[in-house]
Structure 1
Amino acid sequence: MNGFEKRAHAIKEKIMKSTMELLRTSDPKRIRISDISKKANVSQVTIYNYFGSKEALVREVFVNFVDRAIQEFEAYMNAGHTLKEKIAHIILLEKESYKDFPSALMKELLINDDELARYIELQYKEKTIPLTVRIIQEGKDSGEISEEVSIETVLSFIQLYMNQYDKLLEMAQQSGDIEKFLEGMVHMFFYGICGKP
């Protein structure tokens, strides 16, 4: 990468970072190119030159976020953690991603952008699900997951947790101790309400 390319990359990254910061606190529909321009300290023309439109910029920010999250997920799953740590990571993953993209914002972006929705669905099917299935199969092979429980059942149970994450997070916040509440949810995932077998 030559000097010009490095400068262009740095400017693009600054614009995307500023957009991400605005998305954390503002409705995407209310964010204007002028807001992003001011926050990134670049001209509006520069933003249009790099991204073409606000919608394309927001899409690229979200795609970048998803790609990074998937890379981090894959790295964690391949880093020698125990099965329990891996499953807990899957269940609690949204706790971390929630800071950057609250789920209401994610849903809004996906509803309003078919191209983005297709991209996310593809990543989920081609990367996240196969890796999760591999982890579950390893758990079955090692005897850590009962033979009585199918891979589909474990996937469904994980999906139940993740589909209710907004409610779980709200309950966790009301409990006064988010970490303890979510750790309890992971414990229940593995051992039910009666404790360890």
Structure 2
Amino acid sequence: MNGFEKRTEEKKNKVLEATFELMNRDADGGNITIEDIVKHANVAKTTIFKYFGSKENLIQKVFEHFITQMIEAAKEIMDENKPFEETLIALSQNKIRFLNQINKPFYLKMMDYYTEKNEDGFSRIMQQYTQQNFMMMLELFHRGRKEGKVDLKYSDEFLMLYFQAIVEGVSNPQIYEKIKDYTEEWTEMLIKGIAPDRRG
């Protein structure tokens, strides 16, 4: 990346971070304006339109930036190669840490955006990010099998369908509006649910 590209990226990130802060500043989420963003990011209005085109597009980019950061942090946890249960709990804590940075209106708007269905009936999140998550979870399930923490009777296909069912279920507004506070319990149930039966 040359100096010009680096400055461009820095400017874009500055706008994204300022918009993120404004969107999460008030308990009600507030209806922020381009003028608010210009002032908070200390950039010209033309800069915002040059890089993002519109306020709506900028807000979508803020959601994407947030999710990308969460996934990158999850990849770093995976790369530490810690034991299965420790990794799954760390991934859950990572998600909680990120969710604690946002208010409820931001969370609900973001989930509305990511769960919006296209003409094929797939939600945005399924297309853009779930594949990465599936590969990460499959790698983790393999690790769990080797450690004797995931029952061998569960095939890769079953585990992926199980995980996909969870992701698709969470894309339902009736579920995602309530699930934010249950991430830890969800992880605990997942660990117990796929563990080998130790009886007998």
123, 132, 136: which one pairs with 2:141? 136
Measured in 1, the distance between the counterparts of 2:140 and 2:128 equals 17
TM-score normalised by the chain length of structure 1: 0.70
Residue number in structure 2 paired with 1:40: 41
Q: Give the counterpart of 2:109 among 105, 110, 129.
A: 105
- Between Structure 1 and Structure 2, the one with more helix by share is 1
**Using a 3 Å threshold, how does the CA distance of structure 1 residues 51 and 29 change in structure 2: closer, same or farther?**
farther
Distance 2:24 2:97 in 1: 13
Deviation at 1:134, TM superposition (A): 2.0
Please state how far the C-alpha of 1:64 moved relative to its aligned partner: 2.1
The equivalent residue for 1:12 is 12
In the alignment, is the contact (CA less than 8 A) between 2:70 and 2:94 conserved in 1?
A: no
Change (3 A) 1:12 1:170: closer
Q: Say which structure, 1 or 2, has more relative contact order (CA 8 Å, 6+ apart).
A: 2
**1:125 paired residue among 120, 124, 130:** 130
Gaps of 5+ in 1: 173-181
**Within 2, Cα distance between the matches of 1:185 and 1:119?**
23
Would you say the 8 A contact 1:136–1:154 is kept in 2? no
Q: CA deviation at 1:70?
A: 1.7
> What amino acid sits opposite 1:125 in the alignment?
T
Give the 3 Å change call, closer, same or farther, for CA 126–37 of structure 1 in structure 2.
Answer: same
Aligned match of 1:156: 162
**CA gap 1:21/1:88 in 2 versus in 1, 3 angstroms:** same
Shift of 1:188: 5.1
Give the TM-score, by structure 2 length.
Answer: 0.69
Q: Deviations over 1:2-47 (max 9, x none)?
A: 5444433322221111011112235678221111111111222221
AA partner of residue 41 (structure 2)? A
Letter in 2 for 1:21: E
User: Once the 2 structures are TM-superposed, how far is the Cα of residue 147 of structure 1 from its aligned partner?
Assistant: 2.2
Q: Deviations over 1:161-185 (max 9, x none)?
A: x94676465479xxxxxxxxx4x76
Change (3 A) 1:187 1:120: closer
Offset from partner CA, 1:65-118 (integer Å, 9 cap, x none): 22222222122112111100122134344312213445323223335696xx85
In structure 2, how many angstroms separate the alpha carbons of the residues matched to 1:129 and 1:34?
Answer: 40
Give the % identical residues: 27
Is 2:78 aligned against 1:77? yes
* Alpha-carbon distance in 1 for matches of 2:182, 2:138: 29
Paired with 2:6 and 2:146, the residues of 1 have a C-alpha distance of: 47
Match of 2:25 in 1: 25
Rounded Cα–Cα distance in structure 2 between residues aligned with 1:31 and 1:113: 26
1:133 is displaced (CA, Å) by 1.5
Q: 5+ residue gaps in structure 2?
A: none
Contact 1:94–1:165, Cα closer than 8 Å, also in 2: no
Contact 2:134 2:160 survives alignment (8 Å) = no
